[in-house]
């Protein structure tokens, strides 16, 4: 909330009107109330950006049911509830607009240790396509953005692991991590008239990582914590040449 307040203050100082409301996107009543407050403040809604997202790192056998429910609840149910609330208002008032869903390259690129996150983003991708088909007759556009590794507070604990830092940079053809501005530019395009002939699309914003794949986090983090005896021998996240060295060791033993 503190970061949101800082952004709101910056926008207001620049002359843009702002309404800041803390909402649990898993709660339909709170979401509906948010739309009502938005309409009261601005006179309507033109663009909906479903950007609320969470994730945890957990193997399937260790994952708590609460983890699964939380990640699917925020990422997928939240996208549905916000979309439903805004579309209801549009249809009731003869209005139309554009919806931008924040998915991930993990809508198609799997990660070990994040089955719930990948499932939620796969759901967002298919929800985007289904909603685009259903709402097109009303003049409503629905698209998604699928970011790769973006430097945000959500990813900083991954980037600080040297093995993962090197592995991810190796798998981005442009050899850098994404910045929030990279995603914002695509969102601005999808919100503008320049995207009027696009709907049902999911646009990768990842420097080309989806062309190669993404390293799974869980084994590298377990190794960084010294849990070498608790993880399988897998080549994921190993530095270049490490697999060959491991094979040589096994041959000499």
More confident residue, 154 or 126: 126
For position 91, what pLDDT does the model report?
98
Question: 10-39: per-residue pLDDT in tens?
Answer: 999 999 999 999 999 999 999 999 999 999
Say yes or no to pLDDT of 60 above 50.
Answer: yes
Residue 252 confidence (pLDDT): 62
Residue 185 confidence (pLDDT) above 90: yes
**Domains by residue range for the chain, with CATH:** 45-215 (3.40.50.720)
pLDDT at residue 23, rounded to an integer: 97
Give the model's confidence band at 66: pLDDT under 50 very low, under 70 low, under 90 confident, else very high.
very high
Across 214-229, average pLDDT = 72
Q: How confident is the model at residue 155 (pLDDT cuts 50, 70, 90)?
A: confident
Please say if 138 is a catalytic residue: no
pLDDT exceeds 80 at position 221: no
pTM: 0.87
Catalytic residue among 16, 117, 138, 217: 117
105 confidence band (pLDDT: 50, 70, 90): very high
Give the pLDDT score at 225: 73
Read off the pLDDT of each residue in 83-92 and give the average, rounded to a whole number: 98
pLDDT of residue 240: 45
Token output for 142: 């629905």
Give me the sheet containing 47-50, strands edge to edge. Answer: 47-50, 98-102, 141-147, 202-205
């Amino acid at each position: 909330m503190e970061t949101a307040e800082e952004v709101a203050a910056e926008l207001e100082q620049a002359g843009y009107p702002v309404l800041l409301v803390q909402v649990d996107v898993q709660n339909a009543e709170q979401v509906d109330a948010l739309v009502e407050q938005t309409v009261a403040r601005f006179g309507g809604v033109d663009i909906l950006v479903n950007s609320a997202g969470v994730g945890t790192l957990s193997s399937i056998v260790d994952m708590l049911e609460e983890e699964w429910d939380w990640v699917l609840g925020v990422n997928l149910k939240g996208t549905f509830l916000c979309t439903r609330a805004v579309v209801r208002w549009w249809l009731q008032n003869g209005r139309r607009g554009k919806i931008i869903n924040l998915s991930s390259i993990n809508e198609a690129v799997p990660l070990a240790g994040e089955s719930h996150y990948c499932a939620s983003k796969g759901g967002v991708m298919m929800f985007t396509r289904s909603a685009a088909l259903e709402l097109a007759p009303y003049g409503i556009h629905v698209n998604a953005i699928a970011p790769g590794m973006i430097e945000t507070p959500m990813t900083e604990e991954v980037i600080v692991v040297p093995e993962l830092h090197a592995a991810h940079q190796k798998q981005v053809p442009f050899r850098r991590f994404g910045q929030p501005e990279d995603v914002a530019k695509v969102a601005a395009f999808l919100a503008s008239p320049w995207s009027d002939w696009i709907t049902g699309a999911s646009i990768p914003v990842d420097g080309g990582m989806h062309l190669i794949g993404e390293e799974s986090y869980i084994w590298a983090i377990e190794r960084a914590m010294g849990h070498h005896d608790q993880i399988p021998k897998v080549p994921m996240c190993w530095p270049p040449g490490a697999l060959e060295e491991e094979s040589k060791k096994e041959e000499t033993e």
